[in-house]
Amino acid sequence: MKRYAAYKSASAPVSRTSGAVGLAVAATALLAQRFGVIDADVFVLSLIAAAAVALLSLGLAISALYRIWTYGGPGIPAALWGFFFGGLALVPSALVLGLLVNRPGTIDLSTDRDEPPYLKLQAVSEEQPFLVWMNAMALEHVWPVLSKGSTAGSVASSAQDTLYRDIVSRRYRIAPAQLHAAGAKAFEALNWTVVDELPPDLLDAPTRLQAEGTSRILGLKHDVTLRIRPDRVGALLDVRARSRTPLRDLAGNPDHIRAVFAEIDRVLLETYGDLARLSVEEDGLPREDLQPEPLEEPRETAPVPGFKPYFEEEDEPVADDLGVTDLEG
């Protein structure tokens, strides 16, 4: 009886190997970016290369599974491992790409759109031309399609106005110097490093505070500045958050500003209590028509001084005892 050679897939082991290579490249790029070994441009290009290898692995794995199903033979475990490695290597690339095209125009976000607080630049995003180009393409082509019918006019300005309506200036019923101290404690609680400061010289003087933060997953740097000015209520707070790269982590600049507000509210609540509640209670207290109580019993006549005032002259002697009330003639 003639025996035919069993079919053996050549693409299955290649799929497993290429998937492992793509996963290794993606993991290495993530670790290098997290610890600051490479910049954002190299990180994104590495993820693109890993995604290309991962797509090749997925294609080879699907082809191997189809041919094995058709002709039989070994190779199913290798093809499945290739499919698994390739899919896992695609996750970082898809996540970073999704964060890049999602919610554009938030590289620099401020509560005051017209006159944002001063920010001492530590780094500029123009040093990463590839990411700048990708972000511009997302603003021009991707975001208008995703937000069709929900925004109008300029994409960046409309995105800030419609998506971040809670990112506005806030007023507090305390002095600017007290709010400055609360902002410093908030930065300390968030593990952000203060890099620039205009400390208050008076209780009601305007102040400024800038801190540098690092994202937890990708290790991206961002700057957050607080501008505190005196206000008719007490103090007016403006916050500005700026990313040093168009690349974003899971938490972006809107979340950074919200985190600052939440920490400041927590610090003020622990220090002063619920200021808004106390203010309402004080205003709501009933006003009683109270009359001032006299310290002494009312008198029928005006009191008489104990001595008669006089003017000294050069020729007249000066009285030795000013406490006498009767003058003897």
CA–CA separation, 306 and 303 (whole Å): 9
- Residue 315's pLDDT is 54
Mapping DSSP to helix (H, G, I), strand (E, B) and coil, where does residue 295 land?
coil
- Residue 280's pLDDT is 32
- Average pLDDT over the chain, rounded to whole? 78
Domain extents in the chain: 11-101, 108-147+165-278
For the segment 83-96, the average pLDDT, to the nearest whole number, is: 91
- Residue 328's pLDDT is 46
Q: Is the model's pLDDT at 90 over the cut of 90?
A: yes
For the segment 61-84, the average pLDDT, to the nearest whole number, is: 89
Asked if residue 205 lies in contact with residue 176, where contact means CB atoms within 8 angstroms, the answer is yes
Q: Which helix (H) or strand (E) holds 188?
A: helix 176-189
pLDDT digits (tens, 9 = 90+) for 152-162: 344 455 555 55
Architecture of domain 108-147+165-278: 2-Layer Sandwich (3.30)
Q: Is the model's pLDDT at 319 over the cut of 80?
A: no
CA–CA separation, 171 and 219 (whole Å): 32
CA–CA separation, 238 and 227 (whole Å): 5
For the segment 169-194, the average pLDDT, to the nearest whole number, is: 93
Which stretch of 124-128, 222-226, 230-234, 293-297 has the lowest confidence by average pLDDT? 293-297
DSSP state of 246: S
Which stretch of 10-14, 122-126, 261-265, 269-273 has the lowest confidence by average pLDDT? 122-126
Which of the pair, 315 or 149, is modelled with greater confidence? 315
Q: Is the model's pLDDT at 282 over the cut of 50?
A: no
Closest CA to 115 of 277, 265, 280, 238: 238
- Residue 149's pLDDT is 43
**Confidence bin at 135 (pLDDT 50/70/90):** confident
- Residue 244's pLDDT is 85
92 burial via Cβ count (<10 Å: 0-12, 13-18, 19+): buried
- Residue 153's pLDDT is 40
The secondary structure of 128-167, three-state, reads: CHHHHHHHHHHHHHHHHHHCCCCCCCCHHHHHHHHHCCCC
Distances (CA, A) of 68 to 9, 85, 173, 205, 317: 7, 19, 73, 77, 134
- Residue 276's pLDDT is 59
For the segment 31-46, the average pLDDT, to the nearest whole number, is: 88
Q: Is the model's pLDDT at 270 over the cut of 80?
A: yes
Percent share of the chain, pLDDT over 70:
70
Read off the pTM.
Answer: 0.68
DSSP for 91-135, written as a single string: HHHHHHHHHHHSS-S-SEEES-SSSPPP---S--GGG-HHHHHHH
Q: Which helix (H) or strand (E) holds 76?
A: helix 76-101
CA–centroid distance for 281 within its chain: 33
For the segment 257-271, the average pLDDT, to the nearest whole number, is: 92
